[in-house]
Amino acid sequence: MTSIQMPQLGETIVEGTILKWLKREGDSVERDEPLFEISTDKVDTEVPSPVAGTVRKILVEEGTTVPVGTALMEIDEAGAASGAASGDGASGDAASSPASGAAPPAGATADVSAGAASSVGSSAAPPPAAPAPAAAPAPASAAAPAATAVATVPDRGPRSQILSPLVRRLAKEHDLDLAQIPGTGSGGRITKADVMAVISSGAAAPAMAPAQPMPAPSAGIGDEVVPVSHIRRAIAEHMLASTQGTARAWTMVEVNVDHLVKLRERVKDAFQERYGIKITYLPLVVRATVDALLEYPDVNGRLDGENIVRHRFVNMGIAVSYDAGLIVPVVKGADGMNTIGVARSIADLAARARAHQLTPDEVQGATFTITNPGPYGSIASVPIINQPNVGILSLDAIVKRPVVIDDAIAIRSMVNLSMSWDHRVIDGELATRFLARVKQNLESWDFAEDLGV
């Protein structure tokens, strides 16, 4: 319900007279349609409606003179759920802006990271973004779609609606609600300084200025100077932001995956023949991790100001290395997939990532991330958290090692599973329990049936 008040048409105008109602109770009203005519001692005008809806009640009679701010009329807005309906048409905007907002942040983020010039006018999907700073939260998140707030900046002056390209980009990258940022520029414009003040005060996660330039290369004779690509730059900014913006801690567990290695040896050919893709350990680890995430939902969450948002679904980000650098496509709804489904999804996303064919939607919304440097040979890694996730799991190389079993030495295939995690959100005990759960799952589950061969 929106309350329409006597507007203030000038600093010294303190009251106005309703000359004529243009709408009656029960009439429907379009946004910006005139509701009534007023006269003040300086100027007359008709007053338009800030929302679309139906006139519920008229509170003041024609001919009455009332002070500025007096409630004159009540309007029931059309359609939108109550929730955060404020009197300035936010709901009307929110109804339309996710449609317009969700696509642009994704697309525009891709544009920013991958270089606007190259994606303008291209008919193929734009080059995929580097680990996107998750402009839109997971679909079922209870938090308001902050990234789409670009469309709903309230009117705080004649130029408060002017958002420079820089301001828009910073707001997107840092997941800021521009409606919450006061504009101190000329005419109420939100300036770079205004946005930077919010960012550096830590109200939004990363504390650094995203527009920090790369340090100038000092090239000696014979050195090769390679300009930084936009993807590289975006990766750099994301990584630096994560490192500076999270309280990163790290925990590692050793997992005995001997049986998994044997299983894979046994079934890999049949699996390949049946499903057309290779079976790797990654889908198995994803499944084991999903279970642990559901058990410890804080790890599947994110820090949002004063709240920890626990996502309802698990969208598993899988870090993929490709020619342009690093990208993290997301297996959406991994908690609803079986192992084969996860395997398929990963294979598909990885292949399309390398072919530069991912859509912006596919690199956004991860609630947790797994990286797999194992195939390249590392046995332990300290990955950087893919913000705004709480943790990132590293699956390193599986190596045959001597281990102690029942006081005897045996050779087993072992793997180090480690996680970098954000100590602002969870503590060591939780992180360790979480990892222990993943370990337990991997060591005790029978994946054979799951693999269908």
**Cα 8 to Cα 68: distance, rounded to the nearest angstrom:** 6
Residue 232 touching another protein (CB under 8 A): no
Closer CB to another protein, 187 or 336, in the complex: 187
Listed ranges 165-173, 197-205, 338-346, 420-428: which one lies at the site for another protein (CB under 8 A): 165-173
Residue 98 touching another protein (CB under 8 A): no
Residues 283-302 close enough to bind another protein by CB under 8 A: none
Q: Where are the beta strands (DSSP E) in 42-199?
A: 44-48, 53-58, 65-67, 71-77
Residue 213 touching another protein (CB under 8 A): yes
Residue 168 touching another protein (CB under 8 A): yes
Closer CB to another protein, 34 or 333, in the complex: 34
Closest CA to 201 of 191, 211, 193, 212: 193
Helix (H) or strand (E) holding 172: helix 165-173
Residue 157 touching another protein (CB under 8 A): yes
Contacts of 388 (CB under 8 A, 6+ apart): 133, 134, 175, 205, 302, 303, 304
DSSP letters spanning 33-79: -EEEEEE-SS-EEEEE-SS-EEEEEE-S-TT-EEETT-EEEEEEESS
Closer CB to another protein, 97 or 369, in the complex: 97
Contact 165, 140 (CB under 8 A): no
Interface with another protein (CB under 8 A), residue from 48, 98, 373, 375: 48
Residue 226 touching another protein (CB under 8 A): no
Closer CB to another protein, 51 or 255, in the complex: 51
Interface with another protein (CB under 8 A), residue from 22, 59, 68, 116: 116
Residue 218 touching another protein (CB under 8 A): no
Interface with another protein (CB under 8 A), residue from 1, 211, 351, 411: 211
CB of 127 to another protein, least distance (A): 16
Interface with another protein (CB under 8 A), residue from 2, 40, 339, 441: 40
Contact 389, 317 (CB under 8 A): yes
Provide the β-strand partners of residue 412: 401
Distances (CA, A) of 282 to 152, 358, 393: 42, 20, 11
Is the preceding omega at residue 165 within 30 degrees of 0, hence cis? Answer: no
Residue 9 touching another protein (CB under 8 A): yes
311 is catalytic: no
Residue 46 touching another protein (CB under 8 A): yes
Sign of the alpha-carbon torsion through 55, 61, 63, 65: negative
423 is catalytic: yes
Residue 14 touching another protein (CB under 8 A): no
CB of 30 to another protein, least distance (A): 12
Instruction: Out of 76, 88, 423, 450, pick the active-site residue.
Output: 423
Closer CB to another protein, 28 or 118, in the complex: 118
Residue 197 touching another protein (CB under 8 A): no
- 265: helix, strand or coil: helix
Residue 191 touching another protein (CB under 8 A): yes
Residue 182 touching another protein (CB under 8 A): no
Residues in the chain: 453
**Cα 319 to Cα 306: distance, rounded to the nearest angstrom:** 29
Listed ranges 12-20, 92-100, 237-245, 261-269: which one lies at the site for another protein (CB under 8 A): 12-20
Closest CA to 395 of 238, 239, 254: 254
Interface with another protein (CB under 8 A), residue from 15, 22, 27, 39: 39
Q: Are strands 316-318 and 368-371 parallel, antiparallel or unpaired?
A: parallel
Q: Which residues bind another protein (CB under 8 A)?
A: 7, 9-13, 19, 32, 34, 39-40, 42-48, 112, 116-117, 155-160, 164-169, 185-187, 189, 191-192, 211, 213-214, 216, 227
Q: Mind telling me the catalytic residues?
A: 423, 427
